[in-house]
Amino acid sequence: MFVNALLLRIRLYFCSSKFTMNLSEHLNHKVFQIIASLAAKEGTPSYVIGGFVRDLLISGSGTAPMDIDIVVIGSGIEMAQKVKACIDEELPLSVFKNFGTAMLKWGDTEVEFVGARKESYRHSSRKPLVENGTLEDDQNRRDFTINALAISLNPSDYGELLDPFGGLKHLEERIITTPLEPGLTFSDDPLRMLRGIRFATRLGFSIEAGTLNAIHQHRQRIGIVSQERISDELNKIIASAKPSTGFLLLEQTGLLEIIFPELQQMKGVEEVNAMHHKDNFLHTLEVLDNIALKTDNLWLRWAALLHDIAKPRTKKFEPGTGWTFHAHEFIGAKMIPGIFRRLKLPLNEKMKYVQKLVQLHLRPIVLSQDIVTDSAVRRLIFDAGDDLEDLMTLCEADITSKNERTVKRHLKNFQIVREKIIEIEAKDSIRNFQPPISGDDIQKIFGIPPSRAVGIIKNAIKEAILDGEIPNDYQAAYELMLKEGAAQGLSPQKGASKEETREEKTREEKTKND
């Protein structure tokens, strides 16, 4: 992962005990110069620390950082105010007095300042007792060795890498481990367990054995972390290039059972009469990784994670048939609001989108296994609406067979479904369609109040259009309405002639287009 000159320098660093690494040429952002001169003038040594240093060493590039953390031996807030005064008094600065931190926004760069501190923790809370400390104290309280790397911004050693815990070596070895004893680090602030798994997932690093053990040991401590923080980390794991890494680690450490029992229950294989079903947890992770290759849409990724969530509770062994999961897509869709509520995920249209995809996830498959009729495609277009493309992406990601021929066959069938969708859309404009005669029209024409009869007629029109029995136009719908109305003993009112409602329609349409 390391590149070019920086890589060479890191290798040299390990070969020579006298070699120190100076990264000043990578501190291109103007803010570093400003902080350096203020640090010298005020006598408050300052360092850049954490994610910026880690990512610089990983990518070897010093380009446009978005997120810079500065630790000051002194007041972080005062330093932030002075930096702001130096650049532009108008820059937005947020001060968090309680935390002793300040965040300065300069263009697309966010610089967070904190005074170096020493922390001690109580058992019941993630909030530490804080006192002023040295750089070393501050590095001690950092979560991982790769996040404790600092670069000096001070005149005597500007650009020098300060690495008391071997963070650089761990970057080289692609290892996540803690600066202090891992049990203490995780027990102090159990959120770090999830952060560790998230960094391992995002960076493709492994978690050092003792550190992984400590997560397992302290897993119950996750109970003192707020649900919002937990879900924030889950989202970051899901948003990674290979999210399965994170979920496998969550499972392995016993955290999954605590924070996401529905997923845990998907793990395992049962066998009856020498027939077994696939491990739905592993299948789900494969689908999630597949979809991550195709989209950054977080909610489509959530749909992949949850598409088979009801399999454990619908599982049955039926003699003669084998393992079945009847209606798991419907029951799964019903489980989504409860899961979203508990995880404090949004309960708005994002949840509805996930719910819809879970509910529909078998439809294209069923369709592709059958003869692809126009009517079935029309219904799929109608039910999926604007989310049809995403549904097809989910279904293609859902193919996890190890048999190449099976995979090819499924993909070919989906291609046929896709072509049919294009053909029917061009012909029938079904997506987001509204039947050409509304409930209001029906009431007016027959002179009846809102009632069951209106619903029956309206539904008959919709069904007939989706089944291709009548075209999607006003005239055909009007005629069917009369027929359905007659079957219910209704006849059109005098005065509410076809032409009138038609005229209204044209008028309405005209205003809509205006």
Give the binding site for ligand ATP (CB under 6 A).
Answer: 50-51, 67, 69, 142-143, 147, 189, 191-192
Cβ-based nearer residue to ligand ATP, 51 or 436: 51
Rounded CA separation 438/32 (Å)? 65
Q: Smallest distance from the beta carbon of 50 to ligand ATP, in angstroms? A: 3
**69: enclosing H helix or E strand:** strand 67-72
Residue 143 binds what, of ligand ATP, Mg ion, none (CB under 5 to 8 Å, by partner type)?
Answer: ligand ATP
Is 398 within 8 Å of 287 (Cβ atoms)?
Answer: yes
What residues have CB less than 8 Å from 377, skipping those under 6 apart? Answer: 367, 417, 420, 421, 424
Residue 189 binds what, of Mg ion, ligand ATP, none (CB under 5 to 8 Å, by partner type)?
Answer: ligand ATP
Q: Which residues pair with 316 in a beta bridge?
A: 324
Contact window for Mg ion (CB under 5 A) among 60-68, 246-254, 388-396, 427-435: 60-68
Site string for Mg ion, 363-402 (x = CB under 5 A): ----------------------------------------
Residue 191 binds what, of Mg ion, ligand ATP, none (CB under 5 to 8 Å, by partner type)?
Answer: ligand ATP
Rounded CA separation 350/300 (Å)? 9
| Residue selected from 1, 5, 67, 493 as contacting Mg ion according to rule CB under 5 A | 67
Cβ-based nearer residue to ligand ATP, 49 or 351: 49
For residue 487, which amino acid is it? Answer: A
3-state DSSP helix/strand/coil % of the chain, to nearest 5: 60, 10, 30
| Residue selected from 45, 51, 312, 332 as contacting Mg ion according to rule CB under 5 A | 51
Cβ-based nearer residue to Mg ion, 67 or 509: 67
Cβ-based nearer residue to ligand ATP, 143 or 484: 143
DSSP states along 9-65: HHHHHHH-SS---B-GGG--SHHHHHHHHHHHHHT--EEEETHHHHHHHHH------
Burial of 283: CB neighbours in 10 Å, binned 0-12, 13-18, 19+:
middle
Q: Smallest distance from the beta carbon of 147 to ligand ATP, in angstroms? A: 3
Cβ-based nearer residue to Mg ion, 83 or 287: 83
Q: Smallest distance from the beta carbon of 51 to Mg ion, in angstroms? A: 4
Q: Smallest distance from the beta carbon of 52 to Mg ion, in angstroms? A: 7
Q: Nearest to Mg ion by Cβ — which residue?
A: 51
Residue 72 binds what, of ligand ATP, Mg ion, none (CB under 5 to 8 Å, by partner type)?
Answer: none
Query: Interaction with Mg ion in 430-459: which residues (CB under 5 A)?
Result: none
Cβ-based nearer residue to ligand ATP, 203 or 372: 203
CA distances to 105, 365, 450, 482 from 488, in Å: 68, 39, 15, 10
Is 155 within 8 Å of 38 (Cβ atoms)?
Answer: no
Q: Smallest distance from the beta carbon of 294 to ligand ATP, in angstroms? A: 24
Cβ-based nearer residue to Mg ion, 140 or 147: 147
Which runs of E-coded beta strand occur in 85-148?
Answer: 93-96, 101-106, 109-115, 117-120, 129-132
* Interacting residues toward Mg ion by CB under 5 A: 51, 67
